[in-house]
Structure 1
Amino acid sequence: MRTLVAATMLALILAAGTRAAPAGEPAPGFVSTRGAEIVAPDGAPLRLRGINLGNWLVPEGYMFGFRDATAPWQIRQVIKELAGPEADTAFWRAWAEAFVTQDDLRFIRQAGMNVLRVPFDYRQFTPEEYPDVWVEDGFRLLDRLVEWSAREGLLVILDMHAAPCGQSGHNMDNSYGFPHLFTDEACIRRTAEVWRRIAAHYRDVPTVIGYDLLNEPLPEQEGNDPFTPMLVRVYETVVAAIRTVDPNHLVFLSGINAASDFSIFANTALDRKAVYEFHFYVAAPEERALEKYLRFRAAHDVPILMGEAGENTDEWVRAYREILDRHGIGWTFWTYKKLDSRSCMRTYAPPPHWDAVVAYQGLAGLTLTDRRKRRPPPEAVRAALDGLLGRVRFGATTENRGFVEALRIDP
């Protein structure tokens, strides 16, 4: 697969050699940086504009209509209680197959996107309880996505949304309510090793343009301040591990406070191919909201990327996208596909009996014994899960035309 992708160069990054290079020596044919720009292999500026594949490999409760079961492990617990562990495993395997197909990627490209940001959980490559065990099949889904992306003319950013021990303590990192990554050296070493293995796998694949090392580390909340100085050291450790095997790819570095604060990056010599990433959700889409990032870019002469924004009206998305474009900032909006939502590129309706599943996950405050008394019938659970798998497929989803049009670049 890697040979095929390496041979299938995107039109965007031009046909170029993809020979293997010794560690420390960049190979030709890869996206790079030049001052404050991200550049294609021919040296031309490359403006990234794309979408996140949220809820594919890292489920989030709100995208299923859940309010109580929000982290991936909590969502799986609900399905295990309702359908059993074997059915849970089968469901998530089928979900991964159904959620993203080549038809989805073709639609994304035709909508004007040129890059995918792909959230993943480190457990895809190594079980949480067995740090010395590596799952070779963990690359299968990503390899297929990368191959499809090459065919459709899309680039790929790999985003570690869920790092060993948790980098945020929030639901999206699939942890246990605290950023334990910063309390245990073993967690840091494991994070570096996961990225080293990923980099070794994709080092010669130009469709993958870079590695987003930690999604939204250290959000602004009580108790996180002591860990802030450690984040740069974690980045240094991970980047060093990547560079032992891969000199070719970009590394994307997010700031603290939900990727909104670059103050930790006083020293921007972390890597010559680093891109600094911010996220933006809450404030109004105004020019002044970008000022601190523009100042950072100008002061340090480094590229920046808007990695996540959205969860808002079409008008908000359009206004913010236009501001980013005016200032030459690449972007990957959140997100591609969601259940019963307007704030995404495609949506799908809840299947029959899904309301019963949603009601059950809301019983988290009860004992398991009490929840058993109120669980829906097994046949309803099976119908709901099968129905969801059917409706998430591309042909069963519908386009949110307003959202898609809000992301289109004006001619």
Structure 2
Amino acid sequence: MSPMSEGSLGGSTSDTYQIMQTLQNRFGISTQQELMQSYENTWITPTDLDNIKSAGFNLIRIPVWWGQFYDLNSTENSGWRKDAFIQLDKLVNAAAARKIYVIIDMHGAIGSQSLEQSTGQINKNEYWNSTVARSRTAWMWWKIANHYKNNAYIAGYDLLNEPDSRPNKKIPWNNDYYNQIIHAYDQLYHSVRQADPNHIVFIEATFGTWSWNMLPDPKKMNWNNVVYETHLYPWSSNPQKVVDYTINDFIAHKSWNIPGYVGEFNLLNSDSASWSYAINSLNSVGLNWSIWSYKSSNSPAPNYWGWYVRQQWPGQPNIVEDSPDSIRKKWGYWKTINVFQKNVTLGIKP
């Protein structure tokens, strides 16, 4: 989604961990962290939040992962970074100044909760078989919830993004894998609640059949003030069919008396009629939603992955060869105002 490196670590096999580790091996911890902060300061700026606010939106979902809170070399309590909240606070405070709410979304648990690159470490998925990884992830959530417990513009905490407890995606789902995820949610829920009894906890149905059937009745779990979340991607069906499935599934669970949230969706096309159908349909049944994603470097419009899409390709750093100054400079090209334009082909409106 973002142009961090020109692929010198192996193209699509590169992940955020590898990029950070390479920078750290070359330049040391402090320079690595400073470079990553310079990247983050470029990729999303207060101007981006102005764009979101002026369009009428009132929520952003911010993906985070453990490497932003711990030193790469240690996930023990002693490895907690002194600057763990600097970047996140900056974004949360800028959003609050514009009356935009924030969901903090755990995209990458310690050990990784799936094989996906989006966890920060591709092909890992060790969270499920490591009591240490699970307990340290729970402690990380306690730290996050304790830090934000009095912040009125934190909408809540999204416990695990798209968990997949199977060691291989070719293995069929079964009750053992389902139960592992529910148990993990319960552990993380209680860790959050120990620090923050008031904010919403978002619990994802993004595994198995990607439906609310994946989740238990919250009353049976003694989960309070929760929102059940799903994601919507019509990989093998037409968009309208998947939208209708999601809505009908939500309606079928109305007896739970629990709000629903489509935390990510993309219709995988640039047909504005499809997008309008999806948004109007979700709104009509009271399903909250946020698209994936705000901006994307994939390609110019009619690329459908970003609400803002790039209009030019200003280049990427080679993190194996470039100097810190060169890396910082090349990342600095990627401000939205310089490279991106709103993707009007989608016709997205609040």
Whether the TM-score (by the shorter chain) exceeds 0.5 is yes
Taking structure 1 as reference, are residues 62 and 162 closer, same or farther at Cα in structure 2, changes over 3 Å only?
A: farther
Q: Distance in 2 between matches of 1:209 and 1:63?
A: 36
Instruction: Please give the per-residue CA displacement for 1:74-116, whole angstroms capped at 9, x wherever unaligned.
Output: 44467789xx445755432210111222111011110121100
Q: Distance in 2 between matches of 1:227 and 1:319?
A: 34
Instruction: State yes or no: 1:351 paired with 2:305.
Output: no
Offset at residue 179 of structure 1 (A): 2.3
Instruction: State yes or no: 1:132 paired with 2:77.
Output: yes
Does structure 2 conserve the Cα–Cα contact (< 8 Å) formed by 1:219 and 1:256? no
Offset at residue 205 of structure 1 (A): 0.4
Match for residue 406 of structure 1 among 331, 347, 350: 347
User: One-letter code of the match for 1:187?
Assistant: A
**Bigger Rg, structure 1 or 2:** 1
Map 1:260-279 → 2, pairs under 5 A: 260-269=210-219, 270=221, 271-279=223-231
Offset at residue 335 of structure 1 (A): 0.7
Taking structure 1 as reference, are residues 78 and 318 closer, same or farther at Cα in structure 2, changes over 3 Å only?
A: farther
Q: Which residue of 1 aligns with 2:261?
A: 305
Q: Which residue of 2 aligns with 1:186?
A: 132
Taking structure 1 as reference, are residues 391 and 90 closer, same or farther at Cα in structure 2, changes over 3 Å only?
A: same
Q: Distance in 2 between matches of 1:62 and 1:345?
A: 23
Does structure 1 conserve the Cα–Cα contact (< 8 Å) formed by 2:68 and 2:84? yes
Give the secondary structure class of the aligned counterpart of 1:399: strand
Q: Distance in 1 between matches of 2:6 and 2:227?
A: 29
User: One-letter code of the match for 1:243?
Assistant: R
Map 1:54-73 → 2, pairs under 5 A: 67-73=11-17
Gaps of 5+ in 1: 1-53, 362-374
What's the TM-score once normalised by structure 2's chain length?
Answer: 0.82
Instruction: Please give the per-residue CA displacement for 1:225-251, whole angstroms capped at 9, x wherever unaligned.
Output: 443211111111111111112111000
Instruction: State yes or no: 1:332 paired with 2:290.
Output: yes
Offset at residue 141 of structure 1 (A): 1.0
Q: Which residue of 2 aligns with 1:245?
A: 195
Deviates more, 1:152-161 or 1:338-347: 338-347
Offset at residue 73 of structure 1 (A): 2.3
Give the secondary structure class of the aligned counterpart of 1:107: helix
Q: Distance in 2 between matches of 1:198 and 1:259?
A: 30
Does structure 2 conserve the Cα–Cα contact (< 8 Å) formed by 1:61 and 1:71? no
Q: Which residue of 1 aligns with 2:333?
A: 391
Does structure 1 conserve the Cα–Cα contact (< 8 Å) formed by 2:203 and 2:226? yes
Does structure 1 conserve the Cα–Cα contact (< 8 Å) formed by 2:128 and 2:165? no
Q: Distance in 2 between matches of 1:77 and 1:124?
A: 13
Q: Distance in 2 between matches of 1:219 and 1:323?
A: 32
Instruction: State yes or no: 1:209 paired with 2:155.
Output: yes
Map 1:21-60 → 2, pairs under 5 A: none
Give the secondary structure class of the aligned counterpart of 1:204: coil
Q: Distance in 2 between matches of 1:307 and 1:280?
A: 8
Counting matched residue pairs gives 328
User: One-letter code of the match for 2:239?
Assistant: P
Taking structure 1 as reference, are residues 101 and 73 closer, same or farther at Cα in structure 2, changes over 3 Å only?
A: same
Q: Distance in 2 between matches of 1:227 and 1:143?
A: 35
Does structure 2 conserve the Cα–Cα contact (< 8 Å) formed by 1:193 and 1:241? yes
User: One-letter code of the match for 1:275?
Assistant: V
Q: Calculate percent identity across the aligned residue pairs.
A: 23
Give the secondary structure class of the aligned counterpart of 1:138: coil
Q: Which residue of 2 aligns with 1:15?
A: none
Taking structure 1 as reference, are residues 276 and 109 closer, same or farther at Cα in structure 2, changes over 3 Å only?
A: same
Does structure 2 conserve the Cα–Cα contact (< 8 Å) formed by 1:109 and 1:154? yes
Does structure 2 conserve the Cα–Cα contact (< 8 Å) formed by 1:203 and 1:246? yes
Q: Distance in 1 between matches of 2:322 and 2:251?
A: 57
Instruction: State yes or no: 1:96 paired with 2:44.
Output: no
Match for residue 51 of structure 2 among 107, 110, 113: 107
Deviates more, 1:326-335 or 1:88-97: 88-97
Q: Which residue of 2 aligns with 1:222?
A: 170
What's the TM-score once normalised by structure 1's chain length?
Answer: 0.71
Q: Distance in 2 between matches of 1:393 and 1:75?
A: 20
Instruction: State yes or no: 1:163 paired with 2:113.
Output: no
Does structure 1 conserve the Cα–Cα contact (< 8 Å) formed by 2:39 and 2:332? no
Offset at residue 306 of structure 1 (A): 0.4
Q: Distance in 2 between matches of 1:142 and 1:76?
A: 18
Deviates more, 1:238-247 or 1:307-316: 307-316
Does structure 1 conserve the Cα–Cα contact (< 8 Å) formed by 2:264 and 2:289? yes
Offset at residue 273 of structure 1 (A): 0.8
Taking structure 1 as reference, are residues 338 and 161 closer, same or farther at Cα in structure 2, changes over 3 Å only?
A: same
Gaps of 5+ in 2: none
Give the secondary structure class of the aligned counterpart of 2:85: helix
Give the secondary structure class of the aligned counterpart of 1:120: strand
Give the secondary structure class of the aligned counterpart of 2:290: strand
